């Protein structure tokens, strides 16, 4: 076994980040409120949060002076890209209304933080039918939210190169309202496009057409088949969406948004972790919308055939004492393993679906601080709740490119990516830093519930750290351009605003051949 290279599953973190941030940002201009507009040139336009304003169009997109539309041939990728990550929005109207009524989001959209996220797309979605001399009234935003995306849809990130990894919106079996909205925008915004004679990899030989929509100098690509509509920033992503297996969106009670991932698309580490935990393909993170907020519902999954590899128990106070309270990402599980961790025993255990000898449950956790720049060092630690396994763990984690430093704190073997990370955990255990026992009461109570897999995200700490990393990554440090001693005030303000976001916790508890979901948070 090699030392882990990237911590908890990237898909889980990326997916959760997308639901929280991408959902909020995209929701601010895609899932906005319905509105109308008067027929005169000034008109009444509903802004992103549903408030009316008077005056001339501010995001006017004129069709005058545009190049003549033309169609060109797309260079089709030689292989089909898998759906690596997807977010299913089962109740768009409910999500839209919650975003529009969320006080924090309303406030942020007036500040540099929100304006930076929305960026130039405010002009695209703020343009009106009058601006475009179209057959619809109101903003493009309202056309999307009120008709095009008013039924269940999926947002998919495909694996592969950067062209296909931009998200694609897939609307299965669109109704009359969605197709009418598509036609209305296509009639005024279409500026040529691209064609493909077959799907990536050569499958499904047919003629596919990707339309280029241009509004306010922003381009969106669109494709349409009898059974779906697809929208994306790149034509290759649209083609993948047209050729992908059509999603079946079946909502369950209390679940308004669901995130799924394909472990095979994320490399050996995620595949290995899913296999070790015995999670079958189709694992989902589930969320609901309550009181204008996104709330965690839990982790749902089928388990692989054979003996269960997960047990059920609450996280120990020793573990909660060891984990710093500001840890961005925590993944913990109750793992059944052979009594002996000798390599030959483990090999037999995995190859024979449980082996023949006795097993014992180990509490294992990973703490991870994701960085906003690939050049920054990894900040990761594995916490093993059975100190008697220390010698065996030294052998298991002695290989691999990333060497881990080791110590024993709070009755856990700690294998950390750096001395600094190890010291941070030591201080939490010693009470010199706030630990998870100091977290909000509902968070501590949620972590103490019997669980098989627990996944916690301190969204405020996570996004605040990524914001600072992103700002610093823009600097190319040299003698003439030293690293700034402190970020500018607007970055500090944005970080403080982000740090007010809640802690989200999801858990799954083994019951029969499935994980039963449960959620908690601050």
- Asked whether the predicted pLDDT for residue 518 surpasses 70, the reply is yes
Per the CB < 8 A criterion, the answer to whether 452 and 515 are in contact is yes
| 375 lies in the same domain as 492 | yes
Element (H, E) at 505: strand 503-511
| 314 lies in the same domain as 271 | no
Alpha-carbon span 449 to 340, nearest angstrom? 28
Instruction: Please report, for residues 90, 171, 237, 353, the alpha-carbon distance to residue 251 in angstroms, rounded to integers and kept in the order given.
Output: 6, 15, 25, 33
> Model confidence at 265, in pLDDT bands (50, 70, 90)?
confident
Tell me: the pLDDT tens digits for 457-493?
Answer: 999 999 988 888 888 877 655 556 566 677 788 888 8
Per the CB < 8 A criterion, the answer to whether 103 and 10 are in contact is no
The bridge status of strand 208-215 relative to strand 168-172 is: unpaired
| 517 lies in the same domain as 457 | yes
| 200 lies in the same domain as 286 | yes
In a domain, residue 48? The reply is: no
Q: In this predicted structure, which of 2-11, 209-218, 249-258 has the lowest mean pLDDT?
A: 2-11
Query: Which of 518, 23, 512 has its CA nearest to residue 299?
Result: 518
Last residue of a domain, one of 276, 300, 324: 300
Last residue of a domain, one of 273, 300, 327: 300
| 154 lies in the same domain as 244 | yes
How many domains in the chain? 2
| 225 lies in the same domain as 337 | no
Query: Which of 107, 141, 87, 149 has its CA nearest to residue 292?
Result: 107
| 260 lies in the same domain as 186 | yes
What's the predicted TM-score (pTM) here?
0.81
Element (H, E) at 170: strand 168-172
The CA dihedral of 109, 112, 117, 123, to the nearest 10 degrees, is: 70
- Asked whether the predicted pLDDT for residue 415 surpasses 90, the reply is yes
Residue 512 CB contacts under 8 Å (≥ 6 apart), including other chains? none
In a domain, residue 47? The reply is: no
Query: Which of 458, 469, 504, 496 has its CA nearest to residue 107?
Result: 496
Residue 176 CB contacts under 8 Å (≥ 6 apart), including other chains? none
| 440 lies in the same domain as 380 | yes
Q: How many CB atoms lie within 10 A of CB 154?
A: 25
In a domain, residue 417? The reply is: yes
Q: How many CB atoms lie within 10 A of CB 164?
A: 25
| 256 lies in the same domain as 346 | no
Mean pLDDT of all residues in the chain? 81
- Residue 506 tokens read as 């999801």
In a domain, residue 131? The reply is: yes
User: If you average pLDDT over residues 437-445, what whole number do you get?
Assistant: 95
Q: Which domain holds residue 322?
A: 303-521
In a domain, residue 41? The reply is: no
In a domain, residue 492? The reply is: yes
Alpha-carbon span 214 to 347, nearest angstrom? 57
Per the CB < 8 A criterion, the answer to whether 287 and 256 are in contact is yes
Alpha-carbon span 44 to 53, nearest angstrom? 6
Note every long-range contact of 470-473, with CB atoms under 8 Å and residues 24 or more positions apart, other chains counting.
Answer: 470/372, 470/373, 472/373, 473/372, 473/373, 473/375
In a domain, residue 445? The reply is: yes
In a domain, residue 68? The reply is: no
Confidence at residue 216, expressed as pLDDT on a 0 to 100 scale = 85
Tell me: the pLDDT tens digits for 323-347?
Answer: 999 999 999 999 999 888 888 888 8
- Asked whether the predicted pLDDT for residue 13 surpasses 90, the reply is no
> Model confidence at 266, in pLDDT bands (50, 70, 90)?
confident
- Asked whether the predicted pLDDT for residue 14 surpasses 70, the reply is no
- Residue 69 tokens read as 């539309």
Last residue of a domain, one of 253, 279, 300: 300
| 486 lies in the same domain as 362 | yes
Query: Which of 502, 463, 507, 515 has its CA nearest to residue 332?
Result: 507
Alpha-carbon span 107 to 109, nearest angstrom? 6
| 468 lies in the same domain as 371 | yes
Alpha-carbon span 287 to 285, nearest angstrom? 7
> Model confidence at 400, in pLDDT bands (50, 70, 90)?
low
Residues of the chain above pLDDT 90, percent: 40
Tell me: the pLDDT tens digits for 74-106?
Answer: 988 888 888 888 999 999 989 888 888 888 888
Per the CB < 8 A criterion, the answer to whether 31 and 141 are in contact is no
| 396 lies in the same domain as 504 | yes
């Amino acid at each position: 076994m090699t030392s882990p290279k990237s911590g908890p599953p990237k898909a889980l973190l990326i997916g959760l980040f997308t639901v929280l941030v991408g959902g909020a940002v995209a929701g601010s201009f895609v899932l906005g409120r319905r509105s109308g507009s008067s027929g005169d040139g000034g008109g009444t336009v509903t802004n992103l949060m549903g408030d009316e304003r008077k005056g001339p169009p501010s995001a006017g997109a004129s069709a005058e002076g545009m190049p003549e539309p033309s169609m060109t041939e797309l260079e089709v990728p030689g292989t089909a890209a898998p759906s690596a990550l997807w977010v299913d929005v089962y109740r768009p109207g409910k999500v839209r209304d919650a975003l529009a009524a969320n006080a924090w989001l309303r406030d942020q959209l007036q500040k540099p933080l929100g304006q930076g996220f929305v960026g130039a797309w405010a002009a695209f979605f703020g343009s009106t039918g009058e601006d475009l001399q179209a057959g619809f009234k109101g903003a493009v935003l309202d056309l999307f939210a009120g008709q095009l995306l008013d039924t269940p849809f999926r947002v998919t990130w495909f694996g592969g190169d950067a062209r296909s990894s931009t998200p694609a919106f897939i609307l299965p079996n669109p109704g009359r309202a969605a197709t009418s909205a598509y036609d209305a925008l296509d009639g005024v915004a279409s500026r040529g496009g691209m064609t493909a004679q077959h799907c990536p990899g050569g499958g499904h030989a047919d003629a596919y057409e990707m339309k280029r929509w241009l509004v306010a100098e922003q381009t969106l690509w669109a494709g349409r088949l009898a059974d779906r509509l697809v929208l994306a920033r790149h034509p290759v992503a649209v083609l993948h969406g047209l050729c992908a297996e059509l999603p079946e969106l079946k909502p369950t009670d209390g679940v308004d948004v669901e995130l799924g991932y394909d472990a095979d698309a994320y490399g050996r580490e995620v595949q290995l972790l899913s296999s070790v935990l015995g999670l079958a393909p189709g694992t989902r993170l589930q969320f609901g919308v309550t009181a204008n907020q996104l709330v965690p519902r839990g982790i749902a999954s089928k388990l692989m055939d054979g003996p269960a590899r997960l047990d059920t128990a609450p996280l120990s106070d020793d573990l909660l004492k060891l984990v710093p309270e500001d840890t961005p990402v925590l993944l913990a599980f109750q793992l059944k393993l052979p009594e002996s961790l000798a390599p030959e025993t483990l090999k037999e255990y995995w190859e024979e679906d449980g082996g023949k000898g006795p097993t014992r449950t180990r509490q294992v956790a990973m703490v991870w601080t994701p960085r906003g720049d690939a050049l920054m060092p990894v900040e990761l630690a594995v916490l093993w709740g059975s100190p008697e396994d220390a010698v065996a763990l030294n052998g298991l984690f002695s290989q691999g490119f990333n060497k881990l430093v080791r110590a024993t704190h709070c009755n856990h073997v700690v294998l950390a990516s750096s001395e600094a990370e190890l010291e941070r955990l030591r201080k939490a255990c010693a009470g010199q830093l706030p630990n998870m026992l100091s977290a909000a009461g509902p968070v501590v109570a949620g972590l103490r519930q019997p669980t098989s897999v627990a996944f916690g995200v301190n969204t405020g700490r996570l996004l605040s750290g990524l914001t600072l990393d992103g700002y610093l990554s823009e600097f190319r440090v040299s003698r003439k351009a030293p690293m700034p001693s402190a970020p500018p005030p607007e970055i500090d303000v944005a970080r403080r605003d982000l740090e007010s976001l809640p802690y989200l916790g999801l858990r799954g508890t083994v019951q029969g051949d499935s994980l039963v979901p449960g959620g908690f948070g601050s």
